[in-house]
Amino acid sequence: MSSILTNTSAMVALQTMKGINANLNKTQSDISTGKSVASAKDNAAVWAISKVMESDVQGFKGISDSLAVGNATLTVARQASETVTKLLTEMKGKIVAAQADNVDRGKIQTDVTALRSQIESVVGAAQFNGLNLVDGSQTTVNVLSSLDRSPSGVTSSNIAVTSQNLSTTAGAALTAGGGTLGGTSGTAPDLTVVTGTPATLGTFAFQGGAGALASNDPAAAPATLTALIAGDSIELSVGSTTGRYVVQEGDTADALVAGLKNSLTTNGLSDTDFTLSLTAGTLSVANNTNQAAAISTSATRGTGGLAGLTTINVVTDPTTALSAIEGMLQTSIDAAASFGSSQKRIDIQSEFVGQLTDSLKTGIGVLVDTDMEEASARLQALQVQQQLATQALSIANQQPQGLLSLFR
């Protein structure tokens, strides 16, 4: 049946043209943007995967920056250790010369003292962005190295760099205490118990008074060993968890408490289970749980690996000086070797992260990028189809004109 009101052929041709035009627009969009999946509307699953991978790529860029900073820090530490080794080797040559009886040992001692001062200068200056790995102010430094994704979530990995102590500071025990922390009684938590007597855990004072630590000069260390100087190590054990903090120049009581708390929480103790405070030199710990916990504290003056340099005297005891310098030379060599190994590992990880980032980018491209060769062929085919659909629609629209011949 023919009708001038309903042109089925034209409707079919029109729907066909709309589908062709939609495909043509999509193909042109793919070509102009370079992406076949530009939004979640195009392919929700693929788009979601690509966005997760893109976020990982951004994360690895941050990791690359962290590795670069870690590499630079280790370069400074390694070069300082190698320089110290060179200076100690030169010092050893002078000490060997002092073994002879017909030399001026006084002048040799002057050279030895000058070299020691230079070593102290090198160790003190070997910092990168405020971080010194050779003066004993640090223990272990973590360098962000990887982003690990699993079905359970995302975690970060670190490369642990062990610092070295090439300072000339001699160590000594400072103070210690321990006992048992009772559980909470009502709303007021019990304070620490030292040797069974209710008291504070330990008393610490900063060199120069209650303010910030002002100097790292061993010669300026206070007479009382309970006064802290840079490089001193404080350990606090609560239950089976131990936190450790190394005092740094410029530290205050708040910095010491924050360092110990961060170390304890990093090692697995919940920060809601305990409260630390340091008031007027008194370190107090409160147990916020209902379970008793053993507690102990100790503090040790940082012992430098080159502390023996301060006692070397070729005038009075050249034989002992030779034995001592050999041991310290080995210490500096070991330090340089340790930094070299860590730096090599960071270099390998940095190269791997770069390759992994490239692989992730390639994977993202495979998922969402447009295949330009295929898109080109599809564009030409759709353009031909569009022309044919236009012609078909034109023919369909002319059919009602044929009905006029029936009324002539």
- Provide the CA 276 distance to its chain's centre, in angstroms: 26
Distance between CA atoms of residues 234 and 228, nearest Å? 10
Q: Is there a domain that residue 165 lies in? A: no
Is residue 30 located within the same domain as residue 85?
A: no
Domain assignment of residue 255, given as a range: 173-302
- Of 1, 57, 11, give the one whose Cα is nearest residue 362: 57
The per-residue pLDDT for range 184-199, each reduced to its tens digit, is 433 333 333 333 332 2
In three state form, how does the secondary structure of 297-353 look? Answer: EEEECCCCCCHHHHHCCCCCCHHHHHHHHHHHHHHHHHHHHHHHHHHHHHHHHHHHH
Residue 56 placed within a domain = yes
Last residue of a domain, one of 273, 302, 331: 302
Looking at the structure of the chain, the number of domains it has is: 3
**Same domain (yes/no): 103, 199:** no
Tokens of 125: 């200056």
Percent of the chain with pLDDT over 90: 27
10 Å CB burial of residue 53 (0-12, 13-18, 19+) is middle
Q: For 50-70, what is each residue's pLDDT tens digit?
A: 988 998 899 999 999 999 999
Residues 181 and 297 in one domain: yes
Q: Which pLDDT band, with edges at 50, 70 and 90, does 109 fall under? A: very high
Is 285 part of a structural domain of the chain? yes
Please say which residue of 262, 285, 302 terminates a domain.
Answer: 302
Residue 274 and residue 380 in one domain: no
In degrees and rounded to multiples of 5, residue 180 shows phi and psi of: -135, 130
The answer to whether residues 221 and 268 belong to one domain is yes
pLDDT for the residue numbered 258: 84
Does 1 map to a domain?
Answer: no
Contact (CB, 8 A) for 201 and 194: yes
Would 346 be classed as within a structural domain? yes
Q: How far is Cα 100 from Cα 116, in angstroms, rounded to an integer?
A: 22
Do 288 and 197 lie in one domain? The reply is yes
Mean pLDDT of 212-220: 38
pTM of the model: 0.64
pLDDT, tens digit (0-9, with 9 covering 90-100), for 155-194: 888 898 988 888 887 655 454 454 544 444 333 333 333 3
Q: What per-residue confidence (pLDDT) applies to 229?
A: 65
Q: Is 295 a domain residue?
A: yes
Same domain for 100 and 79?
Answer: yes
Can you give the CATH number for the domain in which 313 is found? 1.20.1330.10
Q: Give a yes or no: residue 380 inside a domain.
A: yes
Please name the amino acid found at residue 317.
D
Per-residue pLDDT tens digits for 116-132: 999 999 998 999 988 89
User: Is residue 206 located within the same domain as residue 298?
Assistant: yes
Quick one: pLDDT at residue 70? 93
279 shares a domain with 190: yes
- Give the whole-number percent of the chain exceeding pLDDT 70: 81
Which structure tokens are listed for 107?
Answer: 């002048």
Query: Which of 302, 317, 335 is the last residue in one of the domains?
Result: 302
Residue 264 lies in a domain: yes
Query: 344 pLDDT exceeds 70?
Result: yes
Please check whether residues 257 and 358 belong to one and the same domain.
no
Residue length of the chain: 408
Question: 91 and 23 in one domain?
Answer: no
DSSP assignment letter at 228: E
101 with 131, same domain?
A: yes
pLDDT at position 389 over 70: yes
